[in-house]
Amino acid sequence: MSHSAAADIRIGTVLRDTYELTSLLGKGGMGSVFLARHLRLPGKQVAVKVLLHDEELSDEQFARFRREAEIASQLGHPNIVEVLDFHTLENGAPYMVMEYLRGESLGHRLKKGRMSIREAFSVARQMGSALQAAHRAGVVHRDLKPANVQLVPTDSEGMITERVKLMDFGISKLMGSQTLQTQEDVLMGTPRYMSPEQAMGKNKDIDARTDIFALGTIVYEMLSGDSPFAGATIAEVVYRVVNEPPESLAVRCPDLPARAVAAVDKALAKNPKDRFQDVATFIAELTGTPLQSLASLGPDPTPYSPRGALPPSNPSLHDDESASEATFVPARQSAAGAPAPAAQPASPNPAALADPSVEPGSTLAAFRAAEAAAPAAQPSLAVSVSRRPTDLSLPAVQPAAPQPAPPATPAPPVAAPAPRSNAKLGVAAVVAVVLLGVGIVGSRFLKTETPPSPPPETPTVTAPNPTIAQPPPVAPTPPPEVKPEPPPTTPPSTPPTVATTPTEPANTEPANTARPQTRPDKPEAVPESVRQELEEAERALTSGEFDKAIRLAQRSQQTRKTEAAYELLGRAYCHKGDLGNARAQWRNLSSKGKARLAKYCKPHDVNL
Ligand SMILES: Nc1ncnc2c1ncn2[C@@H]1O[C@H](COP(=O)(O)OP(=O)(O)OP(=O)(O)O)[C@@H](O)[C@H]1O
C-alpha cells in the first residue's frame, strides 16, 4: 500500500484547525520541520514535522515516521524531545507535532570547537540518561550524532543551563519488535558515528552497545574537537570505524582524567563484548558520578510496545533470532514491495566514494556513498537508497587484514551480501476514513449526476486548501458568477442545508479542478459521493461536530469543489470562531452566498 504525500505546504497553512505553520525551521531527509502556533492556546509554539515527498510514500516510510512519533511520545523523558500529536493531512501526508526546541544543535556547537570537560560531561550525562530510558524500554536509537542532539537554554534554580534533548528516533530499533525489521548487509546510520557492527551491516548484532559506541564517538568529539574516525572519504571513515583505534584522548585532551580516557576507549571497543554493557556504567566511569533516575527507585517501566508489535521477547541486549531474520529495505527498493533478488558479489565504486568535496560525516556524503555503490553493484544487489540521506544501503564492510589501509586506497573490502528475502512490513498505520452518506437531507438542492463520477482513488497531494489561513492556498480566482437563486426553503434562522446556488448540470470535468459554477434556478450538479458527503457534513454540523463537518466537506472538495461545501465550511469555521478560515471560504462564494454566510456568522461574533 502507499500513501500520497504533500509535495508542498505553505506557511500559513492550518493543520487540522489547530496548528498554523508560521515559519520553516529546517529540512531533513524525511521531511520539513515548521514552527507553528497553536490556535486555541495563544502563545503556545510547537514544531511540526511534515513528511514531505515527491513520490508516494511507501508503507515503510509511513511506518517509520509514525514509529518515531510513538517511541518519542511513549518514552516521556526530559532529555528526549516530547511528541505531542501525530496526524495526517487530508491528502494522507503524516505529520507529528513536537515541543518546539530553542537553542542550537550539538553539531552546530561543535563547529565552534571543542567543549570544556565540564560542558562535555554535562551533555554526556544527559544523553546517557535519555539512552538509559530508551534502552530500558527496549529501544536502540541507532542514529546518534551531534545533529540529533539539541542544546536548549533552560531556566533552572535561577541560572540558565542547557538542557539536552535527544531527537530523531527515525531509524531506531525496537528490541524484539516484529513491527519493522532491518535487513542484514546494509548500512544504516551516519558513518562517523556508526559502530563497527553497523558499518559491517551486521544489523542483527545491533543493541544498546551500538548506542554506547556512538555516544563514545560524540564524547570524543566534544572533548577533542574532532571525530575519532575522521577521514577524507566515506570509505576511509568506514574503514577506520571497523579497523582502527582512534588516537588516544590522553593526547588530544591532556587535562582529561585517566579514568575518563579509559572509559572512552572502552566505549569505542570494536567488539561489543569489550564495551560497557550498559550506558549507566559508561557514564559513571566517564564522569565519576553514577546516573540517577526515578526509574531506578521503582519497578522498571513497561517496555515500549507499538501497536501490533510483540513486546520484547528477550530482555537481554541481543534481539532474538526471529526478529532479526525479517527483512527491511529502507529505501526506494520497490514501491510494490517486490522482494530483492539474490545478491551477487559487488564492490562499491571507489572513485565515487572518494569524492573529497563531500564531508564524510554528512548526510550528503552518506547519500553519495550509497549512490556511488549502485553502479558498481550487480543489478541484483539490493543497493537501496532511502530518501532519508542518513540511511544508506551499502554492501557490508568486512574487517580488513591487520595492516592499516594506506590513505590512497581507502576503499574497504566488500562482502557479498547473502541472498535474502523480504518480509512483509507489519505496520500499515493508515487511517481509512470510510464515509458512507445516509439520508437525503438537502438533496433537493443537489442533483446527482448521471452517471455519478467516482471519487478519486487517492486524495490529491496538495495541501488541503480550505484549512489554509493566510495567505489562502487556493489560487485566487474570481468568485462564481452571481445569479439569482431560488428562495431558501429552510427556516430563516437555519442556514441552507446545502448550497442554494445552483450550478451547471452534469459537469464532467476532472475532479477537484473546478470552482463552483452558478446558474439560476437549477440545482448544483454534483457526483453522488459529493452529495452524500455534504449531507453527512451537514448532519455533523447540526449535531455540533464541527471538525467532522469540516473534514467531510473538505473531502467532498477533493472530488468537486462546490458552493455548498464552501458555505458549509464557512459555517463550521464560524461556529469555531475561526475568522481566518471562515473568510477563506467566504471569498469563494457567490455574492448571495457571501451575504448568507455573513448573516449566519454574525451571531457567532464572526464578522466577515
Ligand atoms: N522539535 C524541534 N524544535 C526545533 N527545531 C527542530 C525540532 N525538530 C527538528 N528541528 C530542526 O529541523 C531541522 C530538520 O530536522 P529533521 O529531524 O527533519 O532532520 P535532520 O535530523 O536534520 O536530518 P535527518 O532526519 O535526515 O537526519 C533540523 O535543523 C532540526 O534542528
**pLDDT tens-digit map of 457-495:** 323 222 233 222 233 333 333 333 333 333 333 333 333
Strands 94-99 and 45-50, sheet pairing: antiparallel
**Is the pLDDT confidence value at 423 over 60?**
no
Whole-number Å distance, alpha carbon 66 to ligand 1 midpoint, is 16
- In this prediction the pTM is 0.54
Whole-number Å distance, alpha carbon 25 to ligand 1 midpoint, is 8
Q: Are 145 and 107 in contact (CB under 8 A)?
A: yes
**Is the pLDDT confidence value at 47 over 50?**
yes
| Mean pLDDT within 280-305 | 75
The pLDDT value recorded for residue 451 is 35
The pLDDT value recorded for residue 253 is 95
The pLDDT value recorded for residue 185 is 46
Whole-number Å distance, alpha carbon 445 to ligand 1 midpoint, is 49
**Residue whose C-alpha cell is 487517492:** 458
**Nearest to 142, CA basis, from 198, 186, 102:** 198
The pLDDT value recorded for residue 376 is 29
Name which residue leads in pLDDT, 526 or 590. 590
Name which residue leads in pLDDT, 288 or 546. 288
**Is the pLDDT confidence value at 382 over 80?**
no
- DSSP codes, 139-201: EE-----GGGEEEEEEEETTEEEEEEEE---TT-EETT--SS---TT---S-GGG--HHHHTT
Q: Cβ-count burial of 99 within 10 angstroms (0-12 exposed, 13-18 middle, 19+ buried)?
A: middle
The pLDDT value recorded for residue 94 is 86
Q: Are 518 and 589 in contact (CB under 8 A)?
A: no
The pLDDT value recorded for residue 55 is 58
**Is the pLDDT confidence value at 199 over 70?**
yes
Would you mind telling me the total number of residues written for the chain in this entry? 608
Q: Is 49 annotated as a binding residue?
A: yes
**Is the pLDDT confidence value at 316 over 80?**
no
**Nearest to 40, CA basis, from 63, 60, 17:** 17
Q: What nine digits make up the cell of 435? A: 464515509
Which of 55-59, 418-422, 539-543 is modeled with the greatest confidence?
539-543
Name which residue leads in pLDDT, 577 or 114. 114
Pocket of ligand 1 (CB under 6 A): 25-31, 33, 47, 49, 81, 98, 100-101, 105, 147-148, 167-168, 170, 363, 388-390
Q: Which atom of ligand 1 is nearest to the CA of 31?
A: 18
Which positions ≥6 away from 543 have C-beta within 8 Å? none
**pLDDT tens-digit map of 333-344:** 333 333 333 333
| Mean pLDDT within 561-577 | 84
To test the ligand 1 pocket, which listed residue (53, 165, 168) has its Cβ within 8 A of the most ligand atoms? 168
pLDDT band at 225 (very low <50, low <70, confident <90, very high): very high
The pLDDT value recorded for residue 187 is 55
Instruction: Kindly provide the b/e burial profile for residues 334-353, where b requires at least 16 CB atoms within 10 angstroms of the residue's own CB.
Output: eeeeeebeebeebebbeebb
Q: Which atom of ligand 1 is nearest to the CA of 25?
A: 12
Name which residue leads in pLDDT, 285 or 533. 285
Whole-number Å distance, alpha carbon 418 to ligand 1 midpoint, is 35
pLDDT band at 39 (very low <50, low <70, confident <90, very high): very high
The pLDDT value recorded for residue 388 is 36
Q: Are 393 and 383 in contact (CB under 8 A)?
A: yes
The pLDDT value recorded for residue 65 is 77
- DSSP codes, 76-144: --TTBPPEEEEEE-TTS-EEEEEEPP-SEEHHHHHTT-PPPHHHHHHHHHHHHHHHHHHHHTTEE----
The pLDDT value recorded for residue 522 is 52
**Is the pLDDT confidence value at 153 over 80?**
yes
* Amino acid code (one letter) for 479: P
* Amino acid code (one letter) for 95: Y
How far apart, in whole angstroms, are the C-alpha atoms of residue 245 and residue 260? 16
Name which residue leads in pLDDT, 217 or 404. 217
The pLDDT value recorded for residue 241 is 96
Mean pLDDT computed over every residue of the chain: 66
Q: What nine digits make up the cell of 427? A: 505496520
Q: Are 291 and 125 in contact (CB under 8 A)?
A: yes
| Mean pLDDT within 333-361 | 32
**pLDDT tens-digit map of 95-132:** 999 999 999 999 999 999 999 999 999 999 999 999 99
pLDDT > 90 fraction of the chain, expressed in percent and rounded: 29
Which of 246-255, 471-480, 531-540 is modeled with the greatest confidence?
246-255
pLDDT band at 171 (very low <50, low <70, confident <90, very high): low
Question: Considering only CA atoms, which residue is closest to atom 15 of ligand 1?
Answer: 28
Q: Classify 168 in phi/psi space as left (phi over 0), alpha (psi -120 to 50) or beta.
A: left
**Is the pLDDT confidence value at 607 over 60?**
yes
Q: Which atom of ligand 1 is nearest to the CA of 81?
A: 1
Q: Are 279 and 131 in contact (CB under 8 A)?
A: yes
The pLDDT value recorded for residue 170 is 63
What residues are labeled active site? Answer: 143
SS3 of 298-349: CCCCCCCCCCCCCCCCCCCCCCCHHHHHCCCCCCCCCCCCCCCCCCCCCCCC
Q: Which atom of ligand 1 is nearest to the CA of 190?
A: 27
Helices (runs of H) and strands (runs of E) counted in the chain:
17, 15
Name which residue leads in pLDDT, 495 or 586. 586
Name which residue leads in pLDDT, 125 or 85. 125
Name which residue leads in pLDDT, 502 or 54. 54
The pLDDT value recorded for residue 398 is 52
pLDDT band at 300 (very low <50, low <70, confident <90, very high): very low
